[in-house]
Amino acid sequence: MDKALIAHAQGLHGTLIVPGDKSISHRSIMFGALAKGTTVIDHFLFSDDCKRTLAAFQALGVPITIKGDQVTITGVGFNGLKAPKQPLDLGNSGTSTRLLLGVFSKQPFPIQFFGDASLSKRPMQRVIGPLSQMGAQITATNNDFLPLTIAANQKLDAVEMTVPVASAQVKSALIFAALQADGVSKLTEIAQTRDHTERMLRQFGGKIDKDGLTLTIKPQNQFVAQKFRVPGDMSSAAFFALAATLVPNSQLRLAQVGLNNTRTGFLDVLSRMGADFRVENVDSKTAEASGDVIVTSSKLKATTVHGAEIANVIDEIPLIALAATQAEGVTEISDAAELRVKETDRIETVATELRKLGANIETKPDGMIVHGPTALHTVTSDQVDSHGDHRIGLMLAVAALVSDSQLTLTDASAINVSYPNFFTDLEQVLD
Ligand SMILES: O=C(O)C1=C[C@@H](OP(=O)(O)O)[C@@H](O)[C@H](O)C1
Ligand SMILES: C=C(OP(=O)(O)O)C(=O)O
C-alpha cells in the first residue's frame, strides 16, 4: 500500500503536455492489429490499462514494437490472429475487456479473459447479451462477470438494435462484431457517447454511416495502416484544469489536448460554473481535433449536471463533485447511476473521501448533491484513499492542493491505470 504526501499549493504555472488519450490509445492498437500494413502511433499512453490491450494482441501473435512513446504495429487482420497460449489478463481495464469481447467474437479458437478484483465485479452482460444475439458464444461467471471464455465461432449475424446502455464500450464492442457479421447492422444509441471508434474506423479506411443516434455498419475487413499522434487526454487534462482554477494565482497552458466534442463536456460544466479559460491553437484537420486550453484561477458557482450530458462527462464526475465543494450554491448531479459500476462505486467513494475533508455531500441512487463552498481541511483523517480507483486517487490529489492541511493519499499507485506520470507533471507546474 503505497502513499503520496501532498501539500497545499501556492500556484500552478507553465505549460503541460498531458499524456495521450486512454480511449484512443486502446483503439489505436486494435485498428493497427486489424489493418493491412504498418501502423505507427506517437504519444501512445503507456498506462497500466493500455498496456493490457497491447499485451493482449501480442499474445494473439501481432508483432508490436515500442520505442519511447511510439508504438509500431504490423497488422494481421481479423483472420491473422493466433490462439493465445494462456488466458488474457486484462488487469483493471473495462475498455480492454468490453471492446475485445467484440473484436474476438468470431475467432476459430477459444479465448479466456480474467482481471483484477475490481474488474471481476464489473458487469459484462451488457456486452455479452447483444453479442450472443449476434451468434457469439460467451460463458461468463454468473453470466455477467470475469473470468469468461469466448468460444471458437464461425459466424456472426447482423443486428438492428438499440444499444442497451449509454456506453461507448458497449457500442464499440458491437461495432467490432458488426464489422465481422453477415449483413448490414444498425445500432442506435440512447445518448451520444464518445465516438472514437467510429472516427478511427473511418481514419483506417473503413465506412460507417451515422444518422442522428443510429449507426449503419457493413461487414468490412480491409483496413489501411495509419501513422498518427494520439492527442492529449481531456480526462487527464481535467485534473490540472480544475487545479489551476481552484489554486489562486495560477495560469496553466494544457497543450495539444483532445477536443472531440463527445469528450469536452467537462469544459462546458466548468464554463457554466464561471471558470476562466480559453482554447487556442485548435487543429481540426485530423480525425481527432486537439488544441491548447489555458486556465486562470477563478471563483466558481454551482450548476446542475444531468441527462444527455452525463455520458460526455462520465469520467470527470468525481472532479465535478470536487469543483462543487468549492462553488457557491448547491450543485446537483443526476442520471449518473453508471458511476456505481466503474472501478469503484464512484458515488460512494467520492462522498466518503471528500467528507473526510469537510465536504457537504448527499448521495442519491443516481448522483450527488453538493453544498458549497466549504474550506477543505482534515476533519476526520489526514489520510485519503484512492480505493484502488485511479480517478478517485487523482481527484483527491487535486483536493489536497486546495486543502489547508497536508494530506496522505493511500493506494496512490492506482493512478498508473490512466496517468502514471501525474506526480512528475505536477512537480513541473507547481510554484
Ligand atoms: O470507450 C471508452 O474508451 C470508455 C468509455 C467509458 O465507459 P462506458 O462506455 O462504459 O461508460 C469511460 O468511462 C471509460 O473510461 C472509457
Ligand atoms: C471507467 C474507466 O475505465 P475502464 O472502464 O476502461 O476501466 C475510467 O478510465 O474511468
- For residue 354, the Cα-to-chain-centroid distance in whole angstroms is 22
Mean pLDDT of the chain: 97
Contact status, residue 213 vs residue 193, Cβ threshold 8 Å: no
CA distances from 394 to 99, 154, 391, 399 (A): 25, 44, 5, 9
What number of other Cβ atoms are within 10 A of residue 114's Cβ?
17
What number of other Cβ atoms are within 10 A of residue 307's Cβ?
10
The average pLDDT across 184-198 equals: 98
The average pLDDT across 261-281 equals: 98
Q: Where in the chain is the domain with CATH 3.65.10.10?
A: 3-20+231-429, 22-229
Instruction: Tell me, in angstroms, the distance from the centre of ligand 2 to residue 414's CA.
Output: 12
Phi, psi (degrees; rounded to nearest 5) at 247: -85, 115
Q: Residue 393: pLDDT band by 50, 70, 90 thresholds? A: very high
Instruction: Tell me, in angstroms, the distance from the centre of ligand 1 to residue 167's CA.
Output: 6
Q: Residue 1: pLDDT band by 50, 70, 90 thresholds? A: low
pLDDT in tens, 333-389: 999 999 999 999 999 999 999 999 999 999 999 999 999 999 999 888 889 999 999
Ligand 1, CB cutoff 6 Å, lining residues: 23, 95, 167-169, 172, 193-194, 314-315, 338
Q: Closest Cα to residue 391, out of 427, 356, 334, 347? A: 347
CA of 342, closest atom in ligand 2: 1
Q: Which residues are catalytic?
A: 315
Ligand nearest to the CA of 346: 2
CA dihedral 149, 175, 259, 9 (to 10 degrees): -20
Q: CA-CA distance, 29 to 24, in Å (whole number)?
A: 9
Q: CB-based burial of residue 116 (10 Å sphere; 0-12 exposed, 13-18 middle, 19+ buried)?
A: middle
DSSP assigned state of 136: -
Tell me which fold the domain 22-229 belongs to: UDP-n-acetylglucosamine1-carboxyvinyl-transferase; Chain (3.65.10)
Q: CA-CA distance, 236 to 409, in Å (whole number)?
A: 18
CA of 26, closest atom in ligand 2: 6
Contact status, residue 48 vs residue 91, Cβ threshold 8 Å: yes
CATH number of 3-20+231-429: 3.65.10.10
Instruction: Tell me, in angstroms, the distance from the centre of ligand 2 to residue 49's CA.
Output: 9
Angle, helix 196-203 to helix 22-34, in steps of 10 degrees = 40
Contact status, residue 97 vs residue 121, Cβ threshold 8 Å: no
* Residue 292 CB partners (closer than 8 Å, separation 6+): 253, 254, 255, 256, 257, 279, 280, 281
The average pLDDT across 301-312 equals: 98
258's grid cell: 483532445
Question: For position 379, what pLDDT does the model report?
Answer: 87
